[in-house]
Structure 1
Amino acid sequence: MSDATLEAEERPRKRAPWGVIALVLLTGLALIRNGSGEFDVGPPQPAAAAKADTRTPPKITPKAPGPLPFSLVDRIRIPAIRVDAPLMEVGLDSDGWVEAPPPEDPNLAGWFTGGVSPGEKGTSVIVGHVDNMRGPAVFYGLGSLKKGNHIEVRRQDGRTAVFKIYGIDVFEKKNFPGERVYRSTGAPELRVITCGGGFSKRNGYDGNVVVFARLDAVR
């Protein structure tokens, strides 16, 4: 690892206040709609049994691992849906929207650097496309996940943060509950987000599938 990389790892990053981040995400994630939606069978949608009362997240247990320090990230793995994808950093574009990974690469996800890194105290956010013009993309199967499934995020500090899913839901973009999705619960949490809901050629997908997960282990 180079000295420059070490400096980047050790240097604290200035982050916007949560309220600003939530407002940005609330509007910006609406841009993650580049999927075509023009296939015989659309992406799976969350089952009713997978939903959780995310207004009252699960209590922090004594066995829960403590928060990790800041680190850049490398990959995301979701074994239940065979996701194993590199992570790129995404921020805001020139219009102030959250950037999405390039749709041309179907196996690529993005970590939003305006929030915390996965494993830090707070809510980290990873986004990706559900499909593109050629077919399913990295998070096509996100809506089929179940409570208890795990999400692994490999960090550049050598640790892997393992998150346990406690809820999956789909929200209309026009009524997206930003505070409910992005607020800090006092524990290291992760949100994985892609497009979902209904689709029209004029407006694209009308919703976002959101996976709610909490840090469960560190390897």
Structure 2
Amino acid sequence: MAVESASNDLHPDWLDSDDEADAHYQYAAEAQSRRSPNDELELEYRQVTVTGSAFATYRAILLWLHCGYIDFAPLNSSLSPRNPTSKETRDKVYKDSLEAAPTLPLPASPKSVFRLAHLLQLPELQELALGALVASLTVEGAACELFSPVALAYDEVRDAVREFVLDHVGEVSATAAWKEASTKAAQRSTEDALMVMMELFEGLGVSA
């Protein structure tokens, strides 16, 4: 039996095969072999240079990026010695964490995570950090948080803390921390302190 070798004589279905695709693969492979070792793929990425953040914050965020897990530490204002009603310290929180899970990152400050997540444009992590911050607020420490640098720098944090203060205004205003913070705000009369007080007055429905 004679075998036809001319491709034009093949059935049309055979002409529509992966041979054509293989030719493209071969061309791509040859082009790849001719590339200089210094050539780089033009992949889209975002580069952010960060300074002034703790290693613990980075480590906690990297683990969250990898698998979605992050553990938040209580606010310092909710712990002893800043909170006289608490017997737990930040040092004890860390020691307990190391004992329970020595291979995991230490619990991270929700305020530190919020700041770095904001810089890295990670809104989901910002929301988690803000939720952890709110969950850790106490009557005794709310005043410290309301006038903290993070609250003054980020509207979302200040709004959340202010809402807590307004919900517990009678208890918060009776604490030593509130009296100290409000006295300092009145003495300094800085723009930030005045802004916090004005927002509180508005929340209480009081005209300045």
TM range (shorter): under 0.3
- Which structure dedicates a bigger proportion of its chain to helix? 2
Relative contact order (alpha carbons < 8 A, sep ≥ 6): 1 or 2 greater? 1
| TM-score for the superposition, normalised by structure 1 | 0.22
Q: Which of the two has higher C-alpha Rg?
A: 2
- Which structure dedicates a bigger proportion of its chain to strand? 1
